[in-house]
Every structure is written in structure tokens, then in C-alpha cells.
Amino acid sequence: DTEGLLRIKEENQKHYRRAQRHQEKKEKIQRHNRKLGDLVEKKTYDLRTQYEHLANLRRTHILELTSVIFPIEEVKTSMRDPADVSSESDNAMTSSTVSKLAEARRTTYLSGRWVCDDHNGDTSISITGPWITLPNNGDYSAYYNWVEEKKTTQGPDMEHNNPAYTISAALCYATQLVNTLSLILDVNLPKKLCNRQFCGENLSRHRFTRAVKKLNANILHLCFSQHVNLDLLHPLHTLRNLMYLVSPDTENLGR
């Protein structure tokens, strides 16, 4: 029994020495992990700082681009309310009908509900200058109506102030701006749309509306990537959505 007790004591001493070595290894690994944790925290802070610097640089480039080359602003138009014109042409129309027409004109279906839009019809959004504008309500039917009318009308086109020209020019500039913004922000666009899509030959109604839908989808994708307030966006307001995107008030522009 004494010899067995001595053997057990020797084994316990070996286990104790081995446990000490394991404890030293454990402490060494913990120190290494703490050192790596501090390094990762420092690298994360440096990365976050670089992201902020990159965001500020992108923001500066975008604001310079939209102030010098592609300025976008709201333009007041001198259009008269159709309700007022109708009331002048038809003396039998009651005042209630006039007010209802005016109210219907200023109402827009947005996000599943009808909302009042005082800008609908009496303003437009310009790009690169006040002479190149798009209707604020997203109605570009003047373009393909002009194209269809031109197919049936023979002779040279002398109507230089046709709104179809300004619509195609504005959409062309908007496409160029969106493609440039995607490069600056490093955001892949969901729809492929060339800069020359709205230039050159006259587009049919199907091709025109398809290209406009692609442009609007790309603009909304950029707005979503920069966390633009969703309450401000409308799927048909091409230049207005762009204006909200590149506005200096957009806090996350450049992220």
C-alpha cells in the first residue's frame, strides 16, 4: 500500500506539472487573442475611417458633378389649371365641379393611397439648364405621340420647340448622369441602359416606355443604396428622384 501510495503521488505530481504547462499555454493564447483583438479593432477603426473619407470624396465629386455639369432644379411653369379653363369655356359648369376637377388634378396615387400633390402640373424638373425639362408627374406621352404623328405627316419638321425634343434630351442627360453616379458610388445598376438610348432615331411607344422604366429602376436602385427617404420617392418621377438623390441634404450620399 505504501508503494502504491508513492506511485500515485508521483503520477499526481506529473499531472500537476502538465497542468501548469497547459495553464501557461492557455495564458499565452489568451494574450495572443487579446493582441489580435486589439489589432482587429484598430484595423476596423481604420477601415471605418477610410470608408468615411471615401464617402466624403464621393459626395464631393457628386455635388461638383451636379452643380457644374448636370444641375437639377425645380422650374415653375405658367400652365393654367384645366379647371379654370373649362370654367371659362363652359358657363354652365358649377363651382363644385370646378373645385372637384382642381382637386383631382392635384391628387396623386402614392404608396397605396391618394395624396395631395400641389406640384403636380405646375412645376417641372430641369437638368443641365432651365430649357431642358421633364414633366413633374412623369407623363412623357408627348414624345411618342409626336413620333406617331410624325410618321403620318409628310414634310420637314419645323417645330423646334416641340416638347418631345426636350423630353428626349432630358432623359438622355439623366441616363448619362445615372451611369456616371453608378461609377462614382461603385454601385452596379440592375438595368443596362446606354447613354445614346434616347438620342438619334425616334423610339416607338413600346421601346420608349421600356427604356424609361429601365431608367427609373436604375434611379430607384441608386436611391435605395444611398438610403434616401422612401416617402420622398415616386416610381414615375425620374428627375425628382434624381434631385433627392444628389441633394446636399442626403445624409448617406457616398456610402
CB atoms within 10 A of CB 246: 22
- Only one residue has cell 489568451, namely 30
Domain limits, the chain: 123-246
Query: Per the structure block, which three cell numbers stand in for 96?
Result: 363644385
Query: Per the structure block, which three cell numbers stand in for 37?
Result: 483583438
Residues 159, 10: Cα–Cα separation, whole Å: 109
What are phi and psi for residue 240, nearest 5 degrees? Answer: -65, -40
- Quick one: 122 exposed, middle or buried, by C-beta within 10 A (0-12, 13-18, 19+)? middle
Q: Mapped to the 3 state alphabet, what secondary structure does the chain carry?
A: CHHHHHHHHHHHHHHHHHHHHHHHHHHHHHHHHHHHHHHHHHHHHHHHHHHHHHHHHHHHHHHHHHHHCCCEEEEECCCCCHHHHHHHHCCCCCHHHHHHHHHHHCEEEECCEEEECCCCCCEEEEECCCCCEEECCCCCHHHHHHHHHHHHCCCCCCCCCCHHHHHHHHHHHHHHHHHHHHHHHCCCCCCCCCCCCCCCCCCCHHHHHHHHHHHHHHHHHHHHHCCCCHHHCCCCCHHHHHHHHCCCCCCCCCC
Radius of gyration over every alpha carbon of the chain, rounded to an integer in angstroms = 33
Low-confidence ranges of the chain (pLDDT < 70): 77-96, 98-122, 153-161
Under 8 Å between Cβ of 129 and 122: no
Residues 108, 136: Cα–Cα separation, whole Å: 12
Task: Check residue 201 and give its pLDDT.
Answer: 74
Task: Check residue 152 and give its pLDDT.
Answer: 72
- CA trace torsion 28, 30, 33, 39 (10° rounding): -80
Residues 42, 27: Cα–Cα separation, whole Å: 23
Task: Check residue 101 and give its pLDDT.
Answer: 65
Rounded to two decimals, what is the model's pTM?
Answer: 0.68
